[in-house]
A and B are shown apart, each in its own frame.
Chain A
Amino acid sequence: MAESLLPTPTYWRDSHAALHSVIGWNTIYTPYEGMVTPVSRGWDFGSATGANYVLFDWDNLFLAQMAAVDSMDVAWANLIQILRAATA
């Protein structure tokens, strides 16, 4: 279940809707990774591998932080997958 960690002050409402929708639009599913949030839907550097999405180092850690405002599930999914992508 989505969990809201922070109360939304009145003056945050528009910013909050923007943050919520940005994460919502970019959160996708892929059979390889499960639910993740690529930095941009337009990035398709994975076309050579058939992946068609990009997870990008610390960007996905920031995305996890952004997602945590509205959904710890989305935040954990991103945190787990970008850490699993570690190669060294």
Chain B
Amino acid sequence: MPGDGATLSGSAAGTTLELSAIASGEFRCWLGGHLALDTGAKTPLSAQNEAIAVPAVINITVPSAGMLLRCELRGFSKPPYRAQLLARVEGQQDPIPVPSAWLRPQLRASDEQLLAFRNKPLQAGGWNTWENLHMLNFVRLPKAVELRLDLVQKATGETLGDIHVFRRDNPARVQPGLHSLNSSQPFFMEVNVSRWAGVDCLVAFEASSQGLNAGLGILVRSFGDGCSALQLKATGRAEWGRPFIAHMANDGMIFIETPGFGANAFIPVAFPFARNMSADGGAVGFWELGDGTKLGFASEQRLSVLEIE
């Protein structure tokens, strides 16, 4: 039935489905009831009134067989509309063009109401530790720009990895402190990380953001004789596989820009801390730690440690 979506043949549970979209608007696709692809608005950074086609690709694992793929295409600024969605199931050679008849919003009215209600706290967005596995991954919604902090062994280059309580592999002691609840209040968090690989070093992290459109401030302090063996790494990029563009301005400040929705869609997030572009195109910086070291990071503007405190 046109517009109701369809089940892709061969997409059994556990197979990988590659969706690639080329759109001069916005593509959103649901597999079953789950949002599987969200390209965001595709508009050139230099001419925001003129739509261009930008490809977006995502690989997802099919949770269960027989799930419907339904897509919505919207947000065109002017014709001619350019849109193509290809779906390729793992093991199949050729991608399947998705019929244009599927590209219609197909959520039931009751679902729309539920999703609108569920997403209400996110409409304002803001910085928070939205990503699950790593407690030092700060994500700004709705743009999904992330600032990730990592501890690195200087001698080996080994990274501590995702930080959360009760790590089973490569253990370290993680002590969470206070944390704000959601984006309806100013964001703050505090967490201490210590005893990684037997190193006598405690690293205390505090972060806050005073408003929904305000920048993020992070304070990092390290204590212990072993801290000189560690480095702090900060990386800026987009979360959840979203496409992003990194720019380095003349003053060396790196900006991360992702497509998004609404009035705030094209405000770039600045990462004054970054010194280099990472291999995947993000912004990255390294800092030495030591006993009594105090570091400060801020998004959007250059601030001293004292100002961040």
Binding site for B on A (CB under 8 A): 1-2, 17, 20-21, 23-25, 27-35, 38, 40-42, 44, 48-50, 52-53, 67, 70-71, 73-74, 76-77, 80-81, 84
Shortest C-beta distance, B211 to chain A (Å), equals: 14
Shortest C-beta distance, B105 to chain A (Å), equals: 17
* 20 A-B pairs (CB sep. < 8 Å): A2-B182, A2-B185, A20-B179, A23-B181, A29-B139, A29-B141, A32-B35, A35-B121, A41-B132, A42-B165, A52-B133, A67-B181, A70-B181, A71-B121, A71-B181, A73-B120, A73-B121, A73-B182, A74-B121, A84-B33
Please tell me if B129 contacts chain A, counting CB pairs below 8 Å.
yes
In the complex, are the beta carbons of B177 and A35 less than 8 A apart?
A: no
* A83 CA to B36 CA, complexed, in Å: 20
* A27 CA to B118 CA, complexed, in Å: 13
Residues of A within 8 A of B167 (CB): 42
B: interface residue count bin: 35 or more
Binding site for A on B (CB under 8 A): 14, 33-36, 38, 59-61, 63, 114-115, 117-122, 128-133, 135, 139, 141, 164-168, 176-182, 184-185, 189, 240
In the complex, are the beta carbons of A34 and B118 less than 8 A apart?
A: yes
User: Which one of A30, A32, A80 has the greatest number of beta carbons of chain B within 10 Å?
Assistant: A32
Knowing A32-B35, A84-B114 are in contact, say whether A41-B135 is a contact too (CB < 8 A).
Answer: yes
Residues of B within 8 A of A23 (CB): 181
In the complex, are the beta carbons of B132 and A71 less than 8 A apart?
A: no
Interface of A, secondary structure class, is mixed
Residues of A within 8 A of B177 (CB): 21
From B35, B178, B181, give the contact of A31 (CB < 8 A).
B35
In the complex, are the beta carbons of A49 and B61 less than 8 A apart?
A: yes
From A35, A44, A49, A67, give the contact of B133 (CB < 8 A).
A44
* A88 CA to B35 CA, complexed, in Å: 21
* A1 CA to B129 CA, complexed, in Å: 18
Residues of A within 8 A of B181 (CB): 2, 20, 23-24, 27, 67, 70-71, 74
From B14, B117, B122, B176, give the contact of A25 (CB < 8 A).
B176
Shortest C-beta distance, A5 to chain B (Å), equals: 13
From A25, A74, A84, give the contact of B129 (CB < 8 A).
A25
* A84 CA to B164 CA, complexed, in Å: 27
In the complex, are the beta carbons of A28 and B130 less than 8 A apart?
A: yes
Shortest C-beta distance, B127 to chain A (Å), equals: 12
Shortest C-beta distance, B164 to chain A (Å), equals: 4
* A20: nearest chain-B partner, CB-CB: B181
